[in-house]
Every structure is written in structure tokens, then in C-alpha cells.
Amino acid sequence: MPYAMPCSDLGQTTGPRRRLSCFLGRFGAGLALFLAAWLVGPPGGIAQSQAATCGYGTGGPSASSLCWFDLTDYKDATARSEAGQPISITLPGGYVASFTLTSRPVGALPHSGVEVRATPLEERFAFGSSGADGGYRGVPGKPALYSFGAGGVNLTLSDITVVDSGGQPVTGYRFVIADAENNINGESFTFTSDKPLNLIGVLNDDALTGCNVPPNNLAGLGTTTVTCTGSGAGDAPPIPLSDGVVVGADTPSTIGLSLRTFARSGVAFAIQTSKIQVTKSVVGRAKPTDSFDVSATSPEGTIIGSATTGPSPSVSATTGELTVLPRSNGASYTLSDAVTPGTGTLASDYTRNWVCTNNGQADPALPSGSGTSIQVSPVAGDDIECTVTNSAAAAPPPVSRAAVVAESTKWTLGDALPGSPLPTFSYGTRALTPMMGDWDGDGLKTVGTFESGTFKLNNQNDDSAPELTFTFGDPRAYAVAGDYDGNGVDDVALYRTGTWQIRYLGPDAPADQTFTLDAPFGQGIWPKTVPVAGDWDGDGIDGIGTVTPSTASWVLKNTVGAGSPDIGPLTFGPGGAYPVVGDWGGNGFDTPGYRVGTTWTVRTAAVTSGATSTFNFGVTNSVPFSW
């Protein structure tokens, strides 16, 4: 509200309204009412709902969450009518706020006219001012209802309703009113609502003029009537000059204010919003066609946003930022994760983990965990983003399958455990030591041989040529494969009379290694001492050991290198049985087994004791393996 000033400063810029405003201010209430009605149209105009939007400004209390109504289509004559002016505001997120806007006189004061204006009304007013203490800068459209003519006017929004994008009624929202001009001596606002009014904030709160300046301050906060009594003269030049009070009420059906002024006053209305976003991240897939959906659902049950990853190679999807109404009643939005129907995706093939942030920061009050859905209750100004990550669940460790090599070069592999034999094939040239290992890190053991000092390793289980051939170690030694450094690729080891030689394979392979294991490890040569390798402790790294078939004595070590046994000596099997190692229980670690004739007996629960399983596979006079 302007300070006492000449007509040239009354806020009218050019043209007849400027001259008329000055005239009205000087010549009385009755003529003011007549001419104001003549300017804006005949009273009693037909009430017609106007579609409008809202927009945000920068700076000021809760600026990022206050969406100010664009009242460009305000008609003063219609608002003065008995029915008032119906207005609908289309809000971000598909919400629609509807109300009736009325303009009524204040007591016996002349009924001031009202026009709609962009902000700032002037740079010296805090609302919209580019000054350091201004706020809500750049609000689009025309959010300010600006009175003219000394007197008063009551501007009220009544019959307020808000519905979501599905047409469902919404509760828990907050309507906001702000002083868009100023209040000085001789002027006042009386905010009213059917719900308690609370302070949202004050623009330029250290100003020396305005209604937030002691001793007047704001009276009635927390009640349905708040009085803002102006203070100060407003004849100093700072920009902005006075404060600007912002108040709000939760889920009102009526909210408004009565303003009293000797010149002009301005007001703006807003609704308070917040944001949520749901993002999906997929780490690995059990099947390339697997697909996932995410969604956000309002407290009323309306889906307000959704997204689908689709099949591989897509690894993410997001609803994008969803503008929502914060609910003062604590109502929650539900964020959900589900497999896409019709794709054959199995939720059991994946783990799930929710992580949420608010305004980019971790917030322990937000939900987390592995549920199919979570609930969030944003308050005004919240920007909640929740990411749900689906990771392909680690497949259970495969159970080892049986294999045998007869006559040095005839390989027969089982298709399961116990299972049936696959077609026999030939690989290798006598004389040789047969072996099986994962030579390329693809998770499948395939054939290989050690022939007079040369290793010939094949990445397929067939009679094709080897992919890897190299010379290494003592040609008289017996070869055994294992992943001795845990890099996912099996290495080769040679054993003879207590001495071990290791050639590491695969990425970042260490240098060759030679060491000796003393008794109680076996000290003989094959077949009196059979070298074995296995992951005895489930750490992903194979250890070594020796078995003496004549006594069925096993001595095992969890790692390669010199040192004492970690397991054993232990006895498993009858004397003369041939040892065979595998993950016979699908437990993620290897356990002992032995074969007599074509009968296999294997431990399925633990290395040193526990349950065993017996099955028949292969032919006699063959070397047993697992794969």
C-alpha cells in the first residue's frame, strides 16, 4: 500500500485509469463505486468458470513449493455479483483446484475496485521485487489482485475443492495468501478462513515498516482470524521497502481477507506443493526379456505416474518429477515396484532394495528395505526421490556332475547328478593326464590334457582343437586344475613326490609358483598319492590336498603354498577307492567323494562329516572327474 503520496505515485502508470484513480481517491466513495463498476463491466454479470494455471517464483519462504494462481481472467463485476466468479486452476500433476471468488465491501467503507496485475506491482514492494530482500520473483501470469480507491474490499475464495488427475477429491492440501503490496499506518489486512491460519513466512522480515513490525505484529496466528495492522510511513527509499506477510490454512473450504486502505492494496493466492519421483534400476537379468514397472499412487488411489523398463538392454526407468500436494493430514503416497505382466518375469529371480533421498540428501526418516512398495508423506517443499534396485539374485551354486575318462582319451560326461551320460567323445593323445577346468572364466568346466610337459586346454567339451597350448613344469608330474587365485579362471598345478608347481592363468595372473608340502601330506607319485584341488571353505579360491587311496587318507589345505594342513588327515572311503572332488551338495564349497567300480559316494553337506549320496555312473577302469 503506497505511502501518502501525490496522484502521480499511486501505482497507475499511464492513461485514463491513472487520472481516474487519483480522482476517486479525492472525491468520495459513492462516485468511486459507480466508476469502478463502469470500468470493469456491469455488476451482476453471468458467473462463468475460468480455466487457469499456477506458477512458481524464486526466492522467499517456501518458494519452490508455492504455486501462485494466475488470475488473469478475474472479472471484478462478476466477483461483485451475488454468485461470485467460479474459477478452476489446473495445477501441476493434473490436480484441479476450484473455488468461487467474491468481492464484497468491508463494513461501511467504500467498496474498492479490484484489478488483476503482474508482479511486482512496484519494485518497492517485496512480492516479486528484484531487490535483495524481495521474493517470489518471476511468477508467471497475473497473480496479484490489486485494489484501487480508498476504502476496503473483502476477497474470499469459497466452496474450495481439489481433485486429482483421476477426479478423486483430495484433502490435506494448503491454501496460501500473501501481501503482494505493503501495509503501512492507516492500513490493515484481516485474514480469515474456516481452518486455523498459520504463518508461512515473511518477505523482507527485517523491514521497519509493515504489519510484522512490533508492537503491532500479527495477531491471531493459529486461529481462523489473523489481523495484520500496518506500521510505518513508507517514505524511505530501500527496495523493497516494507515486509510482506504470507499465511496459509490446511484444507480450507473458505479462505480470504478484508483489506482496508487509504490508497491501494494487493494480494496473491497460492497452493502449496511438493515433488516425488520413482526410479527403477536393474542390475543384471535372469532372462533378457525380464521387465519391471514402477508407479506412484495418490492417497486417493489414483496412479499419478508410472514407468516400465522394458527388456534388456534397458536398465532403468523413471516416472520423472511428479508434482504432488503435500498433505497436512499425513496421508501417504504409495510407491510400488512390480514385474511387467505378460513378460514371464519372476520376482523371485531378483533381490529388491529401496533408497530414498529428500532434496538430494539422505533422510533416515524416509523408508527403505526390500518390500514391493513403500509409502512417503511429503510435506511442503519436499523433493523426494526413491530408487528401487532389482538385482538378479545370485543363482544357487551348481551341483557338480560326474564325468569319466576311459582309455585316456574317451570322455563321457553326465547331464545331471546322478543323471544320464551324454554322447562320448575323444580328446587328447596318449600318453596323457586328463583334467577338467574352467579355462575361459565362463563358469563351465571343459576338457584338457597334460601330455609330456605340454598343456592342451579346450574351451568346449568335444574333440575340437585346444584354444590354449603351452609347455610348463615337470613332464613326469600329475596335473590337477583349480582356481588358485580366485580370478574366475582355473589354473593348472603339477604334483610329484611332495612338490607342487603352479601356473596361473587368466587376467592379472601372478607369477608361477613352486613349493613343497611335507608330511602328513602325501609324498608319493600318482597313483599312490593323488593330488586334489577344491574350494574347501567356500571363499571362492581353491585349495589343494593329497589323498592316499590305499588308506583313504585325505589331507587338505585351503590355499596353495607351503604350510600345514587346514583339514585332516581324515579318512573317507574304503582302501583302494579313487578320490573325486566336487560341489556335490550345491553348497558353494567342495567336498570329498570316491568311486569304487561304477559306484560313487560323495559328501553333500560338509567336508569332514555329514550326509552322503551314492549313485552309479560311468565304466570301470576309468578316471573320475566332476564338472
Residues 378 and 451 in one domain: no
Q: What is the pLDDT of residues 392-449, one digit of tens each?
A: 987 777 899 999 999 989 999 999 888 899 999 999 988 789 999 999 998 899 999 9
Residues 45 and 69 in one domain: yes
**561-578: b or e for each residue (b if 16 or more CB lie within 10 Å)?**
eeeebebbbeebbeeebb
165 contact partners, CB below 8 Å, separation of at least 6? 93, 94, 95, 302, 304
Domain boundary pick from 392, 413, 429 = 392
User: The C-alpha cell of 120 is what?
Assistant: 511486482
Tell me the pairing of strands 244-250 and 197-203. antiparallel
Residue 228 belongs to a domain: no
Give pLDDT, residue 51: 59
Residue 218 belongs to a domain: no
Residue 134 belongs to a domain: yes
- Average pLDDT (570-584) is 95
User: The C-alpha cell of 73 is what?
Assistant: 481472467
Specify the range with the lowest mean pLDDT, choosing from 12-21, 322-331, 334-343, 495-504.
Answer: 12-21
Closest of 77, 100, 237 to residue 156, by C-alpha: 100
Residue 229 belongs to a domain: no
pLDDT exceeds cutoff 60 at 48: no
Residue 559 belongs to a domain: yes
Residue 216 belongs to a domain: no
Give pLDDT, residue 2: 40
Give pLDDT, residue 237: 60
Residues 261 and 279 in one domain: no
pLDDT exceeds cutoff 60 at 12: no
**What spatial distance separates the first Cα and last Cα of the chain, rounded to whole Å?**
88
Domain count, the chain: 3
Q: How would residue 380 be classed by pLDDT, with cut points 50, 70 and 90?
A: confident
Tell me the pairing of strands 383-392 and 274-283. parallel
Rounded percentage of the chain residues whose pLDDT exceeds 90 = 74
Q: How far is CA 570 from the centre of its chain?
A: 52
In degrees, rounded to 5, the angle at the alpha carbon of residue 308 between the alpha carbons of residues 304 and 310 is 170
User: The C-alpha cell of 584 is what?
Assistant: 556335490
What amino acid occupies position 383? D
Give pLDDT, residue 579: 97
Give pLDDT, residue 216: 63
Domain boundary pick from 360, 392, 424 = 392
Please check whether residue 234 is in contact with residue 2, taking contact to mean a CB–CB distance below 8 angstroms: yes
- Average pLDDT (337-359) is 93
Give pLDDT, residue 289: 93
Residues 61 and 100 in one domain: yes
User: The C-alpha cell of 95 is what?
Assistant: 490436480
Domain of residue 61: give its range: 7-182+251-272
Q: How would residue 32 be classed by pLDDT, with cut points 50, 70 and 90?
A: very low
Q: What is the pLDDT of residues 208-253, one digit of tens each?
A: 888 887 766 789 999 999 999 988 876 556 677 889 999 999 999 9
Residue 235 belongs to a domain: no
CA separation for the pair 608, 379 (Å, rounded): 59
Residue 54: Cβ-neighbour burial (10 angstroms; 0-12, 13-18, 19+): buried
Please, what is the angle between helix 16-27 and helix 29-40, to 10°?
150
Residues 431 and 363 in one domain: no
Domain boundary pick from 341, 359, 392 = 392
Give pLDDT, residue 132: 85
Residue linked to cell 506458477: 55
CA separation for the pair 472, 364 (Å, rounded): 58
pLDDT exceeds cutoff 60 at 41: no
pLDDT exceeds cutoff 70 at 6: no
Give pLDDT, residue 398: 83
Residues 122 and 71 in one domain: yes
Residues 486 and 575 in one domain: yes
pLDDT exceeds cutoff 70 at 30: no
Residues 373 and 314 in one domain: yes
Residues 256 and 288 in one domain: no
Q: How would residue 351 be classed by pLDDT, with cut points 50, 70 and 90?
A: very high
pLDDT exceeds cutoff 50 at 540: yes
Q: How would residue 82 be classed by pLDDT, with cut points 50, 70 and 90?
A: very high
In degrees, rounded to 5, the angle at the alpha carbon of residue 63 between the alpha carbons of residues 59 and 65 is 160
Please check whether residue 47 is in contact with residue 62, taking contact to mean a CB–CB distance below 8 angstroms: no
Residues 255 and 283 in one domain: no
Q: Which residues pair with 391 in a beta bridge?
A: 283, 351
Residue 238 belongs to a domain: no
Residues 450 and 572 in one domain: yes
Q: What is the pLDDT of residues 442-478, one digit of tens each?
A: 889 999 999 999 999 999 999 999 999 999 999 999 9
pLDDT exceeds cutoff 90 at 135: yes
Residues 349 and 412 in one domain: no
CA separation for the pair 121, 60 (Å, rounded): 16
Give pLDDT, residue 234: 63
